[in-house]
Chains A and B, each alone.
Chain A
Amino acid sequence: MEVISRRKILTMLGAAPLAGALLAQASEDQHAAHQEQGEKRDWADLSPRQTLQQHFFPNVPLRTHENKEVRFYDDLIKDKIVTINMMYTNCKDLCPMLTANLARVHKLLGEHGRRIGRDIHMYSISLDPEHDTPKVLKQYVKVQKVGPGWTFLTGAPKDIEFLRRSLGYEDPIPWRDKNKENHAGMVRYGNEPLTRWAMLQGMAKPKLIVELIESSVFA
């Protein structure tokens, strides 16, 4: 953890708010000037789906555990109902439990008549892409007895990092953010065409997880 000197703290406490206020004032002044000139703004005509895609679902290239290249938005998200979680094969404690819990969810969804890989897609994205090659993920799928229609994904570290942050697997505290295990608990779930997205606790009871998915993202 970084140690910050008292002087530095005082500098930050003193100077930052003033700078912020000045910037804001400048922005307001500038804006008022535009206003007086009767400026009309042209707003972009983007659909809610397009807005969400831009903010949250980058079309980065990824590789599946079957070593197939896919694009995140085009191939995995678009027109689909999905669950997404993050994990890594070297995570000894939480990730195996999470995968086991989601395997129960997989089974329960099946019992509800949902076809995994068609009606709903399950994705697990590696937080450790350098180690988790498609081959390593394939082995993990085998050992963890992961059911069909559930895809494990890896990719270039910079793409994975961008994807992680876009999907909200990040923490405002830098030292917490650096710990991969902090990002391996929550499950994002959603219905892309209906722009319905939420997040649930991956270790919640499978019955609850299935109820939340059924009542929230299936139209």
Chain B
Amino acid sequence: MHLLKYVLDKRALAALRRRQEIVKAGLSRRDLIKLGLLTSTGMLIKEFRPPDAWAQFGGGGGGGGDFQGFRLCNSPATTPFMEQMPIPPVNVATVLSPAPQAAPNTAAGEGRTLTHQAFNTFPFQKQYAVTQKPGTAVMHPQLPTQDIWGFAAGTPSTAGNPTAPGVTYVAKYGEPILVRNYNQLPAANGGFGLNSVTTHLHNGHTPAESDGGPCMFFGTNKFYDHHYPNVLAGVLSTHQAQGGDINEAMSSLWYHDHRVDFTAQNVYKGLHGHYLLFNQFDTGDEGTGFRLPSYPQFDIPITFNDKCFDPQTGKLFFDLNNIAGILGDKFLANGKIQPFFPVAARRYRFRCLNTGPSRFVQFFLTKVGDPTSTQKPKMWQISNDGNLLPKPVLVNSFRMGVAERVDVVIDFTGFSGQSFYFENRLKQTDGRGADGGQVLGAGQGINQMRFDVGAPAPDGSADPATQKFYALPSTTATPRITRTFEFSIGQGSQWTINDQLMDCTDTRFRVQKNSVERWRLINNANGGFWWHPIHIHFEEHQVLSIDGHAPSATELIQNGRKDVLRLEAGTTVDLFFRFRDFQGSYPMHCHNVVHEDHAMLLIFDIAATGDNQTRP
């Protein structure tokens, strides 16, 4: 359609040219940083701008740190660390009636329209019921009780008050499950949210009809059966004899609403939860396998997000009319604003997840009362996007865009009686992205939660310094095709991917099942330095290069197997994919859920034969 062709913004071209001129002049990165012309992540400082003077919702807020900027909220003040961080409940298996079936059970009220493609190949061994319904939550004792939507265990007749994060799934490789997902959400939304939903398992190796794509939504008073085979990639293709490629094993997944145009609102309202996947190595028992800290006592899922509360009513507030990206001024862990969490003086595994809606975070451990102290527990990053790295990496901090997951092992041994914050020190003043990757000084960021170290406890987990996990799958295979995707802001501030707009009613290109592809993602920074956490459903990718360089494996880790790529302003990233085993429609989109809803998203197919579009 010729109407949808856009030209590059003149200013963006000028910025690119400036960049090229500097490169030509032979100035090194170091020179530029020294001269103050480039930030450490490669952003030309010429684009640096002071905080916007205008902010409809005031600015500041009681959260702490330098967070003045665009359309910030102005929540009521709250005293930090008043409540303990809760851990979401776990779902238990049940027997569903009517029994699940391969074809959609339309007569019984199922909203699914496609037949399960692997129902007989991987027959479910366990059945779960979950109900999406309204409920209440105390996010902070100084704020009124909040109205949320959440996932509660059970059917509509048995489900109790939902939580946000919702009920956790504890799944195992080799044990396929079926989740019957009931929609009991009301038309009255309390100000935002839509009771038409689709639940995505991020990032399960899941057949398309159970994946929960944005356009596969179903209405209230209906249910949807999701078949989760819990199989390793390669199970029906490259590694049939071994039951899949063990080096593709995943650990920390999550699920969330993905309804087109309403994802940000519905997730903000509470429609998200954790999904843990164990196997014979990552066993949940510190006496066996990799000997990671035992689940559930010492293996703790934590959802981080930030929210706004109306200063007059004290109620959860969603800035419906913010299309740049929403930054909250209240900072939550597992649904509580700035909670504390008691730990024993031993090792813990924390499965960290950032659900946004828009903020990038970078957590450091900071000693309470002495922010610059170096006497603090060791922190090992063991996974990237919930997939175990080849071995633990000792880190000072870790960074997460929206939807990214990082598992860390923190060793509190020897710190009894002391307390430490998870301090987010990544500066961000508007929804576009972190401010050039600038990290604030210790003690100047946001203390999102606090660990209080108690008495020592027996610790049977392995020393991370000695641990080894999975090797990285080879990326040397020749791709069938290289495709390029350019993320940009087009005319009238409409997001584009390769100059095209979103379309639910059509798929953009066709990947050949069981083939290797190389994707080049370009953030051309057209119109002003946006960061995009790009999520590609279904298969984990590996980053081959970022602006021609190998991805970092030490600090701000970008290597390993991932499903969300932090596509920072002005960067070009090459990804390696194998699309295996299943087929159907899957999306690629920005997981700044505000960008996603305004519709930085495309849908592709995996099918028996692929097409040859290099810039689809």
The CA of A167 and the CA of B4, in the complex, are separated in Å by: 25
Within 8 A of A (CB), among B318-343: 319-324
Q: Are B599 and A204 in contact (CB under 8 A)?
A: yes
- 5 residue pairs, one from A and one from B, having the closest CB atoms: A185-B492, A168-B321, A20-B66, A48-B191, A24-B64
Pick the contact of B45: A2, A9, A43, A170 (CB < 8 A): A9
The CA of A4 and the CA of B444, in the complex, are separated in Å by: 24
The CA of A180 and the CA of B20, in the complex, are separated in Å by: 30
What's the nearest-Cβ distance from chain A to residue B266, in Å? 11
CB pairs A–B below 8 angstroms (21 shown): A3-B46, A13-B438, A16-B68, A20-B65, A21-B443, A31-B79, A41-B314, A43-B312, A44-B312, A51-B313, A52-B191, A55-B56, A94-B491, A171-B493, A174-B49, A186-B493, A194-B189, A198-B261, A199-B261, A200-B598, A202-B492
Q: A63-71, A137-145, A148-156, A207-215: which one contacts chain B?
A: A207-215
Q: Are A216 and B196 in contact (CB under 8 A)?
A: yes
Q: 12 new A-B pairs (CB below 8 Å) besides A28-B64, A46-B312, A101-B3?
A: A18-B66, A20-B66, A21-B444, A27-B62, A41-B314, A43-B315, A45-B313, A94-B492, A168-B323, A195-B189, A196-B194, A205-B505
The CA of A200 and the CA of B78, in the complex, are separated in Å by: 35
Within 8 A of B (CB), among A79-120: 93-94, 97-98, 101
Q: Specify which of A19, A48, A172, A216 lies most central, judged by the most chain B CB atoms within 10 Å of its CB.
A: A172
If A200-B261, A202-B494 touch, whether A20 touches B67 (CB-CB below 8 Å) is: yes
Pick the contact of B36: A1, A9, A175 (CB < 8 A): A9
| B611 at interface, CB cutoff 8 A | no
Interface membership of chain B positions 298-325, coded 1 if the CB is closer than 8 angstroms to chain A and 0 otherwise: 0000000000001011110101111110
Within 8 A of A (CB), among B55-98: 56-57, 60, 62-71, 76-80
Contacts of A12 in B (CB 8 A): 50
| A135 at interface, CB cutoff 8 A | no
Chain A residue with Cβ nearest B431:
A172
Chain A residue with Cβ nearest B310:
A51
Within 8 A of A (CB), among B195-230: 196, 217
Pick the contact of A176: B57, B64, B528 (CB < 8 A): B528
Chain B residue with Cβ nearest A21:
B444
| B540 at interface, CB cutoff 8 A | no
The CA of A48 and the CA of B265, in the complex, are separated in Å by: 14
The CA of A25 and the CA of B501, in the complex, are separated in Å by: 45
Chain A residue with Cβ nearest B432:
A172
What's the nearest-Cβ distance from chain A to residue B136, in Å? 15
| B470 at interface, CB cutoff 8 A | no
Question: How many inter-chain contacts with C-beta < 8 Å in the A-B complex?
Answer: 213
The CA of A41 and the CA of B594, in the complex, are separated in Å by: 32
Q: Are B60 and A93 in contact (CB under 8 A)?
A: no
From DSSP, what is the main secondary structure of chain B's interface residues? loop
Q: How many residues of B contact A (CB 8 A)?
A: 84
Q: Are A183 and B492 in contact (CB under 8 A)?
A: yes
Contacts of B314 in A (CB 8 A): 41, 43
Size category of the A interface is: 35 or more
| B502 at interface, CB cutoff 8 A | yes
Pick the contact of A185: B142, B265, B490 (CB < 8 A): B490
Q: Are B494 and A216 in contact (CB under 8 A)?
A: no
| B296 at interface, CB cutoff 8 A | no
Within 8 A of B (CB), among A177-199: 181-186, 188, 194-199
Q: Are B196 and A215 in contact (CB under 8 A)?
A: yes
Contacts of A51 in B (CB 8 A): 191, 310, 312-313, 315, 317
Contacts of B504 in A (CB 8 A): 208, 211-212
The CA of A204 and the CA of B491, in the complex, are separated in Å by: 12
The CA of A201 and the CA of B502, in the complex, are separated in Å by: 8
Q: Are A181 and B492 in contact (CB under 8 A)?
A: yes
The CA of A2 and the CA of B52, in the complex, are separated in Å by: 13
Q: Enumerate chain B interface residues (CB-CB to A < 8 A).
A: 3-4, 11, 35-36, 45-46, 48-52, 54, 56-57, 60, 62-71, 76-80, 142, 144, 187-192, 194, 196, 217, 260-262, 265, 310, 312-315, 317, 319-324, 427, 430-432, 438, 440-441, 443-444, 490-495, 501-506, 527-528, 597-599
Contacts of B71 in A (CB 8 A): 170, 172
What's the nearest-Cβ distance from chain B to residue A88, in Å? 12
Chain A residue with Cβ nearest B53:
A174
Q: Enumerate chain A interface residues (CB-CB to B < 8 A).
A: 1-4, 6, 9-10, 12-13, 16-21, 23-25, 27-28, 30-32, 35, 41, 43-46, 48, 51-52, 55-56, 93-94, 97-98, 101, 165-168, 170-176, 181-186, 188, 194-205, 207-208, 211-212, 215-216, 219
Q: Are B49 and A173 in contact (CB under 8 A)?
A: yes
Q: Are A201 and B217 in contact (CB under 8 A)?
A: no
Chain A residue with Cβ nearest B192:
A195
Contacts of A202 in B (CB 8 A): 492, 494
Q: Are A195 and B190 in contact (CB under 8 A)?
A: yes
Contacts of A98 in B (CB 8 A): 492
Q: Are A46 and B493 in contact (CB under 8 A)?
A: no
Q: Are B62 and A24 in contact (CB under 8 A)?
A: yes
The CA of A216 and the CA of B49, in the complex, are separated in Å by: 38
The CA of A16 and the CA of B49, in the complex, are separated in Å by: 13
The CA of A20 and the CA of B3, in the complex, are separated in Å by: 46
Pick the contact of A199: B46, B50, B191, B598 (CB < 8 A): B598
Q: Are A203 and B494 in contact (CB under 8 A)?
A: yes
If A27-B77, A51-B310 touch, whether A200 touches B599 (CB-CB below 8 Å) is: yes
The CA of A205 and the CA of B324, in the complex, are separated in Å by: 23
